[in-house]
């Protein structure tokens, strides 16, 4: 069908304003319902109504990527390890030393150009320089996981946080092999006595771990905890300071506790009563991407 004239478009809108149904208007003028909706919507815009075709020229244009622009992008990437945003910014408004560098490389006076981050990334991808520039100098991450259940427990404290109008702390113990929550409890305050009591409860239900990994908090540096570990032949392992990656499993469990459980306080009352239900869901229902399975199936594996 040929393009509608401005007069017909005006009549379509006029018919709609008079109360005709859209399907009837479409049948009268032999157009689709989408066309009726299109011109009805355009006529409702504030300002002067215009039924002529809009110009097809894009509102924003970018310069064509030349060999000089590609060379400039590669030079900035190799020289400074910059990302796409900073490269695009320095090509658009380069400081003096960058302008001098680019002029030297290209052999002519550098004229600022405005190219998008996506274009910069395409250039880097073309020359195999996209991605993190620091990856080449770093060693591959070594994934660690205990070989069997109860081979290593990780313990940590979350808090303080507000729950049911109270200032509370959470003590959580996670099995490293399976991500299984061995213990999780809420306290008004946590001292070394609460830590030992929680460990004894977990041991009575699940057995002794081979090793216990904790941070350098005052609750975990006590002689009583070290004595408890020595008495029960559990190897006490404090994590290195300022290196939370060592306790990655329990840190992730704490994050899940915050995102999946503590947020319920915004919707429900007496959320502290739902802690046991949350732990049951976490251990027996939730699929963990870290182990590609359900924690309980790995903890109770034969």
The H or E element spanning position 186 is strand 181-187
Model pLDDT, residue 92 = 87
Indicate if the pLDDT at residue 48 is higher than 70. Answer: no
Distance between terminal CA atoms of the chain? 71
Between 169 and 103, the higher pLDDT residue: 169
State the average pLDDT over residues 79-105: 84
The 8 Å CB, 24+ separation contacts for 65-72 are 65/115, 65/119, 65/123, 68/106, 68/108, 69/113, 69/115, 69/123, 70/123, 70/126, 70/127, 71/105, 71/106, 72/102, 72/105, 72/106, 72/110
Best-predicted range by mean pLDDT (65-69, 82-86, 195-199, 287-291): 195-199
Question: Is residue 147 one of the residues assigned to a domain?
Answer: no
Report the pLDDT value the prediction gives residue 196, as an integer from 0 to 100: 94
pLDDT at 243 over 80: no
pLDDT of 47: 59
Low-confidence winner among 63-67, 159-163, 178-182 (lowest mean pLDDT): 63-67
The residue segments making up the domain with residue 81 are: 67-131
> CA nearest 299: which of 153, 148, 144?
148
Position 141 in a domain: no
Q: Which residue has the tokens 């393009």?
A: 3
Residues 84 and 193 in one domain: no
- Six token digits for residue 251: 């840190």
pLDDT digits (tens, 9 = 90+) for 99-112: 888 888 777 888 88
The reply to whether 157 falls in a domain is yes
Q: Is residue 207 part of a domain?
A: yes
Task: Tell me: do 77 and 45 sit in the same domain.
Answer: no
**224 falls within a domain:** yes
* Residue 137 resides in a domain: no
In a domain, residue 140? The reply is no
The rounded distance, in Å, linking the Cα atoms of 177 and 179 is 6
Domain boundary among 99, 131, 163: 131
- How far apart are alpha carbons 166 and 160 in whole angstroms? 10
Residue of 184 and 139 predicted with greater confidence? 184
- Structurally, the chain folds into a number of domains equal to 3
Same domain, 71 and 52: no
Tell whether 97 and 9 lie within a shared domain. Answer: no
Residues 157 and 294 in one domain: yes
Is residue 11 domain-resident?
Answer: yes
pLDDT in tens, 155-167: 999 989 999 899 9
CATH of the domain at 46: 1.10.10
User: In whole numbers, what is the pLDDT of the chain averaged over residues?
Assistant: 85
Q: Are residues 231 and 175 in the same domain?
A: yes
1 band by pLDDT with thresholds 50, 70 and 90:
very low
pTM above 0.75, yes or no: no
Please indicate whether residue 5 or residue 274 has the higher confidence score (pLDDT).
274
CA dihedral 15, 16, 18, 19 (to 10 degrees): 130
Q: Determine whether 8 is exposed, middle or buried from the number of CB atoms within 10 Å of its CB (0-12, 13-18, 19+).
A: middle
């Amino acid at each position: 069908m040929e393009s509608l004239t401005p007069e017909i478009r005006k009549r379509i809108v006029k018919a709609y304003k008079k109360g005709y149904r859209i399907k009837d208007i479409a049948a009268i003028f032999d157009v689709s319902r989408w066309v009726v909706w299109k011109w009805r919507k355009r006529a409702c815009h504030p300002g002067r109504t215009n039924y002529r075709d809009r110009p097809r020229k894009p509102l924003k244009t970018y310069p064509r990527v030349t060999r000089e622009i590609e060379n400039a992008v590669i030079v900035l990437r190799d020289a400074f390890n910059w990302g796409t945003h900073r490269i695009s910014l320095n090509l658009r408004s380069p400081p003096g030393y960058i302008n001098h560098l680019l002029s030297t490389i290209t052999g002519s006076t550098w004229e600022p150009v405005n190219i998008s981050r996506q274009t910069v990334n395409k250039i880097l991808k073309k020359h195999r320089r996209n991605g993190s520039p620091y990856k080449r100098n770093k060693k591959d991450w070594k994934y660690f996981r205990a070989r069997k259940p109860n081979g290593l427990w990780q313990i940590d404290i979350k808090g303080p946080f507000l729950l049911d109008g109270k200032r509370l702390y959470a003590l959580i113990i996670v099995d490293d092999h399976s991500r299984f929550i061995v213990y999780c409890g809420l306290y008004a305050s946590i001292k070394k006595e609460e830590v030992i009591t929680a460990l004894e409860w977990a041991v009575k239900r699940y057995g002794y771990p081979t090793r216990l990994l904790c941070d350098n908090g005052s609750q975990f540096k006590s002689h009583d905890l070290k004595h408890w570990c020595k008495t029960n032949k559990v190897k006490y392992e404090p994590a290195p300071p300022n290196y939370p990656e060592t306790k990655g499993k329990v840190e992730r469990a704490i994050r899940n506790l915050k995102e999946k459980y503590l947020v319920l306080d915004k919707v429900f009352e007496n959320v502290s009563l739902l802690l046991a239900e949350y732990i049951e869901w976490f251990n027996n229902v939730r699929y963990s991407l870290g182990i590609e399975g359900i924690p309980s199936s790995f903890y109770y594996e034969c």
